[in-house]
Amino acid sequence: MIRNTRMKRFSIVSAVATVGALVFSTLPAQAATPGVSAKEIKLGYSGPLTGSAGLVYGKLPGAMKAYFDHINANGGVYGRKIKLVSRDDKYLPTLAATQTTNLVLNDKVFALVGALGTATHSKAYTAAQLAKNNVPDLFVNTGFSGFANKEKYPTTFTILPSYAMEAKIMAKFIKDTPTLAPQASFLIAQDDEFGVDGVNGFALAGHKFTAAPTLYPQGALTPALAEGALTKLSVVPGKPVLVLFGTTDSTATILKAAEKLSLTTKFNWIAGSVGGDANTLLALGVKPSTINGALAASFFPDAKDATDPYVSEFMEINSKYNKGVSFDNVVLQGMNSAMLTVQALRAAGKNLTRAGLISAIESKGADFASAGLVPLNYSGTSRVGYNGYWFGQLNEKGELKPFGGKLSIYTTDSSSNSAPTASSYERKPVPKNGVPTNS
Amino acid sequence: MLEFFTAVLTSLSTGAIYALMSTALVLVWRSTRVINFAQAGQAVLSTYIGYEVTTRSGSYWIGFIGAVLSGAIIGAGIDRFFMRPIFKRVKSGPIVMIAPVVATLGLLGIIQAIVGFVWGLNYLTIAAPVSTEGLKVFGSVIAFSPFNLMVLISVTLSMILLTILFQKTNLGLALRASAYSPEIAKLSGIKVEAIRTIGWALAGAAGGLAGMLYVPGSYLYPNSMEVLLVFGFIAAVIGGLDSLFGAVAGAMILGFAINFSTTYISYKLVFPTAFVILILVLLIKPGGVFSSKKGRKD
Amino acid sequence: MVKISTNRKRTLAFVLLGWVLLIISDRVGELRQYQGSFVAMYALAIASIILLTGYSGQLSLGHSALMAVGAYAGALSINNLKLHPALALIVAALIAGIFGLLLGFTVARLSGPYLAGTTLALAVSLPTVANQFPILGGEQGIIFDIGTPPSRFGEDFSQYKWFFWISALAALISIWMLSNLLASRYGRVFRALRDNSVAAQLSGINVGRLKAIAFSISSGIAGLAGGLLVMLISGVSPSAFPLSLSFALLTGAVVTGVYNLKGVMLGGLVLVAIPEIAESVVSRIGGSEGFTTTLPGFMVSALLILAVLFTPNGPGQLLHHHKKKH
């Protein structure tokens, strides 16, 4: 006998349990439409909740859930309450693949909403067989233009304008602005699909930077590196344009390095839409005087602008259902996607099916109400959501006001080198009480 | 020229912080023969405590003391209540190398979860006690602030104190004896177990110190000390795990190598440089730059 | 009673296990098939650690990098060289093995923590290198498509079952080959290296060369596991091989016994099951958002510490002793 009988028991029990679990856990017969019952619609989210990416994007599912709670308190969608299941993938492709598969096979969600990350979601999409099971993949939270490819991702709808679009519009803005055009220009970007997409976008627009872009490994931009980069650029004459294409923490690190070296007024700062979140920058210790005058691209209204009807509506929902979480661009984005999701579910009708949801967005999605100040482009042939940007200037309070006083929206695409065009898009008014009533 | 000067200055600052982590790892290695991955967790927890004390008292220095003290207590506690039971069960063979590594990794995960739960999963900041603006030298601003100077002075002082402790005091003698030959030390009356705990306490204090010197230039979040741990370990190995001097030297070598290669070649070389330097050093001297097989020199 | 040699017994055991897995794969749902594939893949990766650490006494913190080498080799051979997926997996193992041989010779003189430090540095720097060369696909990586199940298996044969068959078969064959190797003279030689390298050298063993060989075989196995991993997530990218993967493999090896191969399946199961259990427990008890986000990590770490404390040599070691007594 094994001397340690406890060990032996443990081994036997665990072996039996394993075999038993494997043998007896066959799935029950598939429901007609998974994730939909008379009372409930189950949606799934896979993204980083912990880890360094979780620090930046962790607020997203909570914001979506808060909006869904608000809708549930107001009758739900044709009487069905929305339940959001979120799973943590720590921004790792392996976890994203297994968690998304879990969402589809284990939690049996009706659709995915807001999946985050390019390297992560592209793996998860195939691994979880979303195409084969026709699982709608709504409003993915990434600016990677590849997700709008209908052949590769038949059930996916993007929402964010791609990084390439952002770069093209930035390039046009630099060219059209007399104070910026003659200056030398430089780019500091994150060394992943985020930054590289941006680099490609500038290339498409024909913009040549004065020096090759500085690419830093994601999450590894130390103050030392930032100080070195800025010191190198400090000898360039004039007031060079410095484009920062990275997350808020990296943008903050660079700005704080500029403060240390007294270089804050040396450059014309242009922050990308992701890193230009003034609320977060100030919270990370950047001085108000530093961001004063910095330029940033955005497609949303300023998250600090309580006079904007969408922002104020979302702020109210946030304080009621998402207590303790400060309202910023990430929360705004989450609630906006949630509102679009509700409209899509309504448009698909009371007899809710996955195919029905997809065609509802194709036919009616372009007319949905959303906080974005740029148009939505869903159609039978296009899976592209927002496709434009406006340029603003930050002030000391961290408010983003339209550059030159007037809001100018430009739209473009991700892959051609045709110049962005001005748009006179006016968004739909916010639904009363933030509850859509479309059909 | 300015670039070179900047690279030297930032290397000094970076190297100083790595030196604290590598010293902590060497202290634990010499006393227990364990690669302590929980060091990142201990350091971050003591820094969060320092953050809490600083926020409540309004003074960085009181928080500083809090971090160092709590680091020492946590370090001692981990040795006494965590490592001892593990060593009781794991006596010989390669499991001795690998089980404590896994155990300290598990401890790291637990500490990170606790910290994330208590303080939340967002970036926190601690304001530096002195200015972080670059100093003006010959009319231009350099990448070296009074705070960077404070970091260098603190690290140097700590190293001097530790060296005095090890070389000139009875406690130091006992620490060195217990690490070099525990059986003989026991025979001469030294309480080896208690001495080992003191070694862990010193390492923990060094970790808390590292955190309070690192965070004002960066951010505080549950995973914030992980990269420091990796570089601290590589620095310790480069310097040879034998001596405090080696730990500091290794840290400086690593800091300079990384900053210079990223400044002059490419920003993407942060991690590959560490690997290349390490391999080069170990190919020439498999025990690290300042290791000596003959006798303990420090 | 017919005297069956231990080698035959071992082969029979593996064949039997293979049949059992085949039958099980038919009875369980797609999710379990998918999870089962990961179990097989992790079991294989843990086997590589057991060879390296349990048998030849070298501690590696960088097996995630070796898996990455195999993974990229496999992905490139499918995409660029247009090889058949089965060949791609073999290429993965070979390339990783060659890389491991070179690395093994380089680090043969290093002991304990120095080897650990070197492999740690490798683990954190190799993924960054993958980002540099456009042919490696950058951050987005390269697609690894093992293809759909052959049509003769019928319509109902799910992709996940196909993954499971490939994963389990690759793992079974490799671990069988490895256990044959370890039962042979090589196994004894490796253990001699581990236990007393001075004595080994005195008895004529070329320590450096054998350490490198052990490293090479271990890397080859890890490379194959890497190829399986990217098959399961349908693509390779640098972020699929973080340092935490190395640590997870070490943990799996310790929890299930680092001294012999018997526990590898359990080790793989632990790595897959414990996070799932933690998450389902957390979703059941609910709580504040901060609580539900951090609790799974806490539970996983706590369970691993308990496992190390209470089974430091793994249940496999105890069973082994039991056999010897009789």
What residues of A are in contact with residue B14 (Cβ under 8 Å)? Answer: 222, 224
Inter-chain touch C53–B286, beta carbons under 8 Å: no
Amino acid letter, residue B14? T
- Considering the domain architecture, whether residues A409 and A274 belong to the same structural domain is answered as yes
Asked if pLDDT for residue A23 goes beyond 70, the answer is no
Do the Cβ atoms of C293 and A94 come within 8 Å? Answer: no
Which residues numbered 396-425 in A keep a CB inside 8 Å of some CB on C? none
In angstroms, what separates the C-alpha of A15 from chain C's closest C-alpha?
A: 9
Please indicate, yes or no, if residue C227 is contained in any of the structural domains: yes
**Residue B267 reports pLDDT greater than 90:** no
Chain A window 211-230: which residues touch B at a Cβ cutoff of 8 Å? 214-217, 220, 222-225, 227-229
A230 in a structural domain: yes
pLDDT in tens, C272-320: 988 888 888 888 887 777 788 888 888 888 888 887 777 656 554 444 4
Could you give phi then psi for residue A179, rounded to 5 degrees? -80, -15
- The CA distance from B164 to B181, in Å, is 21
Give the span between the Cα atoms of A121 and A92, in whole angstroms: 9
Whether residue B139 lies within 8 A of chain A, CB to CB, comes out as no
Question: Which is more confident, C10 or B22?
Answer: B22
pLDDT score at C314: 55
Residues A74 and A47 in one domain: yes
A14 to C159: CB separation less than 8 angstroms, yes or no = no
Q: Which residues span the domain enclosing C114?
A: 33-147+156-242
What is the average pLDDT across C260-269?
83
User: If you measure CA to CA, which chain A residue comes closest to C313?
Assistant: A7
Structure tokens at C108: 């043969």
- The answer to whether residue C115 is domain-embedded is yes
Q: What angle do CA A144, A150, A156 make, to 5 degrees?
A: 65
Q: What is the mean pLDDT of residues B148-177?
A: 90
Tokens 């390439």 found at = A164
pLDDT of residue A19: 52
Does B291 score more than 80 pLDDT? no
- For residue C208, CA distances in Å to C197, C204, C297 come to 10, 12, 40
Length of chain C: 326
Our count of domains for chain A comes to: 2
Contact at CB, B99 and C295, closer than 8 angstroms:
no
Q: Determine the residue among C125, C190, C250 to mutate to test chain B binding: the one whose Cβ has the most chain B Cβ atoms within 10 Å.
A: C125
Q: Name which of B6, B17, B151, B218 to mutate to probe chain A: the one with the most chain A Cβ atoms within 10 A of its Cβ.
A: B6
Count of A-C CB contacts under 8 Å: 114
Residue A16, domain member (yes or no): no
Same domain, yes or no: A174 and A263: yes
- Number of structural domains chain C divides into: 1
pLDDT of residue A26: 44
- Residue to substitute from C21, C125, C132, C139, interface A, most A β-carbons within 10 A: C139
Task: Using the predicted structure, report yes or no on whether residue A3 has a pLDDT greater than 50.
Answer: no
A5 touches chain C (CB under 8 A): no
Answer yes or no: do A226 and A362 share one domain: no
Residue A87 contacts C, CB cutoff 8 Å? yes
Distance from chain centroid for Cα C187: 19
Domain holding B18, by residue range, is 2-224
In a domain, A194, yes or no: yes
Whether residues A293 and A198 share a domain: the answer is yes
User: How many beta-carbon pairs below 8 A join chains A and B?
Assistant: 90
* Whether residue A274 sits in one domain with residue A171: yes
Compute the mean pLDDT over every residue in chain B, rounded to the nearest whole number: 88
Residue A145 has a pLDDT of 84
Lowest mean pLDDT among A220-229, B12-21, C34-43, C68-77: A220-229
Cα angle value B272/B280/B2 (rounded, 5°): 60
Distances (CA, A) of A355 to A124, A136, A339, A345, B124: 20, 8, 20, 12, 45
3-state class (DSSP) for residue B207: helix
β-partners of residue A47 are A88
What does the pLDDT read at residue C312?
Answer: 59
Average pLDDT over residues A135-139: 96
pLDDT band for position A402 (50/70/90)?
Answer: very high
Task: Tell me the residue type at C35.
Answer: Q
Q: Tens of pLDDT along C183-194? A: 888 888 888 887
Say how many CB pairs under 8 Å bridge B and C: 149
Judge whether residue B297 has pLDDT over 50: no
Q: Which residues of B touch C118 (CB under 8 A)?
A: 237, 275, 278-279, 282
Please report the pLDDT score of residue B190 as a whole number: 81
Instruction: Write down the pLDDT at residue B91.
Output: 65
Q: Does C186 map to a domain?
A: yes
ipTM associated with this complex? 0.89
- Are B275 and C123 in contact by the 8 Å Cβ rule? The answer is no
Contact C117 B117 (CB under 8 A): no
Q: What is the CATH number of the domain that holds A219?
A: 3.40.50.2300
List CB contacts (< 8 A) between A48 and chain B.
Answer: none
The mean pLDDT of chain C is: 85
Residues A288 and A415 in one domain: yes
Average pLDDT over residues B198-202: 93
Q: Tell me, yes or no, whether A94 lies in a domain.
A: yes
Mean pLDDT is lowest, of A169-173, C13-17, C132-136, for C132-136
Residue of A225, A254, A256 to mutate when probing chain B, most B C-beta within 10 A: A225
Q: What is the pLDDT of residue B170?
A: 87
Does residue C326 belong to any structural domain of this protein? Answer: no
At residue A141, the pLDDT reads 92
The answer on A310 and A290 residing in a single domain is no
Residue B250 lies in a domain: no
Whether C59 sits inside 8 A of B94 (CB atoms) is yes
Whether the CB-CB separation of B141 and B134 falls below 8 Å is answered with yes
- Residue A390 parent element (H or E): strand A388-394
Predicted confidence band at C2 (pLDDT cuts at 50, 70, 90)? low
Do the Cβ atoms of A93 and C36 come within 8 Å? no
Lowest mean pLDDT among A360-369, B203-212, C231-240: C231-240
A275 and A371 part of one domain: no
The answer on A134 and A66 residing in a single domain is yes
Contact C131 A27 (CB under 8 A): no
- Chain C: give the shortest CA distance to residue A203, in Å: 17
Is C240 within 8 Å of A118 when comparing Cβ atoms?
A: no
| Minimum Cα–Cα distance from C244: chain A residue | A92
Q: Is B233 contained in some domain?
A: no
Locate the chain A residue with the closest alpha carbon to B214. Answer: A223
Residues A187 and A321 in one domain: no
A69 in C contact zone (CB under 8 Å):
no
Total domains in chain B come to 1
What pLDDT does A124 receive?
A: 94
In C40-175, DSSP assigns E strands to: 142-143
Per residue, what are the HEC states of B41-89? HHHHHHHHHHHHHHHHHCCHHHHHHHHHHHHHHHHHHHHHHHHHHHHHH
Tell whether B261 is covered by a domain: no
Contacts of B279 in chain C (CB under 8 A): 106, 118, 121
d(CA A91, CA C239): 8
Contacts with C229 from chain A: Cβ below 8 Å: 94
Per the CB < 8 Å rule, is B274 touching C125? yes
pLDDT, position B69: 96
Task: Report yes or no on C263 lying in a domain.
Answer: no
Residue B111 to residue B2: CA distance in whole angstroms = 42
Range in A104-118, B276-290, C31-45 with the lowest mean pLDDT: B276-290
- Domain for residue B281, yes or no? no
Domain residues for the domain of A113 are: 40-161+305-386
Question: Is residue C121 included in any domain, yes or no?
Answer: yes
A404 touching B (Cβ < 8 Å) = no
Q: Looking at beta carbons, which residues of chain B come within 8 Å of A262?
A: 133-134, 141
Same domain flag for A378 and A418: no
Average of per-residue pLDDT values in chain A: 89
Residue C254 touches partner B, C-beta closer than 8 Å:
yes
pLDDT confidence band for C111 (50 / 70 / 90): confident
| Residue C322, pLDDT above cutoff 50 | no
C298/B274 CB distance under 8 A: no
Residue at B238 is within a domain: no
pLDDT at A101 (0 to 100): 95
pLDDT digit string, tens, across residues A25-40 = 444 444 578 999 999 9
